[in-house]
Amino acid sequence: GENVEQHPSTLSVQEGDSAVIKCTYSDSASNYFPWYKQELGKRPQLIIDIRSNVGEKKDQRIAVTLNKTAKHFSLHITETQPEDSAVYFCAASENSGYALNFGKGTSLLVTP
Amino acid sequence: GAVVSQHPSWVICKSGTSVKIECRSLDFQATTMFWYRQFPKQSLMLMATSNEGSKATYEQGVEKDKFLINHASLTLSTLTVTSAHPEDSSFYICSADPENTEAFFGQGTRLTVV
């Protein structure tokens, strides 16, 4: 089955700096790679996703890159703000509509 | 976006009793729903895939007789934790994807077994 590795497990940055979270996956059949932000006790919220036919996607301060050959994808948050502090999960699946395999999560802390 | 609602949001039960958690799609029909479990400070782990009108598909290591899943209608899937034990205490969360474009999660159910 799919195995998703996520690094780092914790990340502390100063407000205004950039944050990068990296994930690798094992199953070459995976084609859908979403990123979620989860606040304590809440449901995961989709912040951005990318599909295997695209190498990069950007939405304001958030961007995701995908290297399908290396089975590697990354989340980039620029100009971080304290409200970006949360746990971020990457995930992979064969396609949207399928079950998700999650990474272990990254706890991001943005200090003012 | 689509709305998935779970009930209850939190529940405390005694060891040995059973607890039912409901997952409803409020504005769409879902032939498939997914149930995940999340222990404190850990990731979401898929427990089972709930299929309307047929048996659920369980992940390896998840006891189907302990975690009963019923997907009796296109808008409702239920997860019943039978003979609950303290180690079953966790955050249970369901999801559905109405158009195969994006997963929508319920708000989750915090189960505490005492």
What pLDDT shows up at residue B1?
A: 76
Q: Is the pLDDT of residue A76 over 90?
A: yes
| Mean pLDDT within A47-69 | 96
Q: Is the pLDDT of residue A39 over 90?
A: yes
Q: Are B2 and B100 in contact (CB under 8 A)?
A: no
Which residues on chain A are in Cβ contact (under 8 Å) with B43?
89, 102-105
What pLDDT shows up at residue B100?
A: 86
Residue A105 contacts B where some CB pair is shorter than 8 Å: yes
pLDDT tens, residue by residue, B40-80 = 999 999 999 999 989 999 999 999 999 999 998 999 999 99
CA distance B80 to B37: 13
Q: Is the alpha carbon torsion for A75, A48, B41, A103 positive or negative? A: negative
Q: What is the DSSP string of chain A?
A: ---EEEE-SEEEEETTS-EEEEEEE--TT--EEEEEEE-TTS--EEEEEEETT-SEEEETTEEEEEETTTTEEEEEE-S--GGG-EEEEEEEBSSTTSPPEE---EEEEEE-
* pLDDT band at residue A44 using 50, 70 and 90 as cut-offs: very high
What is residue B87's three-state secondary structure? helix
Which residues on chain B are in Cβ contact (under 8 Å) with A100?
34, 44, 46, 95, 103
* pLDDT band at residue B13 using 50, 70 and 90 as cut-offs: very high
| Mean pLDDT within A9-31 | 97
Inter-chain contact B46–A100, Cβ cutoff 8 Å? yes
Separation of first and last alpha carbons in chain B: 37
| Mean pLDDT within B33-44 | 96
Which residues on chain B are in Cβ contact (under 8 Å) with A34?
102-103
Which residues on chain A are in Cβ contact (under 8 Å) with B103?
34, 46, 96, 100
| Mean pLDDT within A80-106 | 97
Q: Is the pLDDT of residue A1 over 90?
A: no
| Mean pLDDT within A54-64 | 96
| Mean pLDDT within B23-30 | 94
Find the CB nearest B43 among A49, A99, A104: A104
pLDDT tens, residue by residue, B74-100 = 999 999 999 999 999 999 999 999 888
Inter-chain contact A44–B44, Cβ cutoff 8 Å? yes
Q: How many CA atoms lie within 13 A of B7 on its CB side?
A: 5
Residue A44 contacts B where some CB pair is shorter than 8 Å: yes
